[in-house]
């Protein structure tokens, strides 16, 4: 990087490998990894950073393929000063680095229902950006506002409606970093909410390869919504069903594999590279297009240089 970087209070690490920071354990380095000390440090750093330098936020890397050549610019990873969770009446406010599962659990203990978050891998910042959801509930159904730092270092509170949520997407401006989110949650009995989450976990573990290296669901459902978990849930336009019908359950390419247990989960089965994973994903897309006419769209975010 030819530009001189600002000197923050947080940690700047050049040429930092990102493989161990993603669930798939693949990918090259960040040109620079920045872990801000707090909100003020993040805002000051971005305000002073040359506007031509790209920035990319990562959470816990649960929905990410970093390509083998790594990411140019500054990768920003929020840490413990961004993971507070507060329950106040019907509102639950969480830092962007708070894990979705922790937010669901803390809310339940306070008698508030955000149980849909319990089985979603990742942190709140990513959940907001991707409008994460399952069992028929989405971030968009509960979000009140998010706080974010813009690429120029300015701070903003954005009402949920301004994010124009869709299935697995939001219109958060490029380069903006979500730092905090507030949710409105219905009241519920804490014991009943905790029991429901245990049941959800058991169902997830029975149907998904939770012990393997994956990044969750690989492709969006062409139906345009997540599984509802109800008995009458149709599987006709689910990504897993189309992949299964194309004969690709368990299919391998290099060290990458489509899960035997759930064919919409892309696995690092044995020393896969990012190139293996992406190539297998593209092969699956082409076969599903041939066999069903449906054009599967990636849900996993792919970024970086080949």
Which residues does residue 298 pair with via DSSP β-bridges, in sequence order? 219
The dihedral sign for the CA sequence 253, 256, 257, 263:
negative
Out of 214, 217, 227, 241, pick the active-site residue.
217
- Helices 190-207/100-109 angle, 10° precision: 150
Stretch (H or E) spanning 132: none
Q: Give the helix/strand (H/E) hosting 71.
A: strand 71-77
Please state, as a whole number, how many other Cβ atoms lie within 10 Å of the Cβ of residue 266. 29
Q: Of 168, 182, 213, 285, which is the active-site residue?
A: 168
Contact present, 245 and 292 (Cβ < 8 Å): yes
Does 217 qualify as catalytic in the annotation? yes
Helix (H, G, I), strand (E, B) or coil at 257: strand
Please indicate whether residue 154 is annotated as part of the active site: no
Residue 244 phi/psi, 5-degree rounding, is: -60, -45
Catalytic residues: 168, 217, 299
């Amino acid at each position: 990087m030819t530009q001189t970087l600002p000197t923050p209070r947080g940690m700047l690490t050049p040429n930092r490998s990102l493989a161990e920071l993603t669930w798939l354990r693949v990918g090259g380095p960040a040109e620079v990894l920045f872990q801000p000390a707090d909100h003020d440090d993040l805002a000051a750093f971005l305000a002073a950073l040359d506007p031509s330098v790209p920035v990319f936020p990562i959470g816990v890397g649960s929905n990410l393929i970093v390509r083998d050549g790594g990411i140019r610019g500054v990768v920003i990873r929020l840490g413990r000063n961004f993971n507070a969770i507060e329950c106040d009446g019907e509102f639950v406010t969480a830092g962007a680095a708070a894990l979705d599962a922790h937010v669901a659990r803390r809310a339940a203990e306070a008698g508030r229902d955000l149980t849909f978050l319990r089985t979603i891998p990742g942190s709140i910042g990513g959940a907001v950006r991707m409008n994460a959801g399952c069992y028929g509930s989405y971030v968009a159904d509960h979000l009140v506002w998010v706080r974010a730092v813009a690429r120029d270092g300015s701070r903003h509170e954005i009402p949920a409606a301004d994010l124009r949520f869709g299935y697995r997407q939001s219109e958060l401006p490029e380069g903006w970093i979500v730092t905090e989110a507030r949710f409105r949650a219905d009241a519920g009995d804490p014991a009943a909410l905790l029991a429901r989450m245990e049941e959800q976990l058991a169902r997830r573990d029975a149907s998904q390869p939770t012990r393997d290296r994956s990044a969750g669901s690989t492709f969006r459902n062409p139906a345009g919504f997540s599984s509802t978990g109800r008995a009458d849930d149709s599987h006709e336009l689910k990504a897993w069903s189309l992949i299964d019908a194309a004969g690709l359950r368990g299919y391998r390419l290099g060290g990458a594999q489509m899960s035997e247990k759930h064919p919409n989960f892309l696995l690092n089965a044995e020393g896969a590279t990012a190139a293996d994973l992406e190539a297998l994903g593209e092969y699956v897309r082409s076969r599903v297009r041939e066999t069903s006419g449906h054009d599967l769209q990636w849900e996993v975010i792919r970024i970086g240089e080949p």
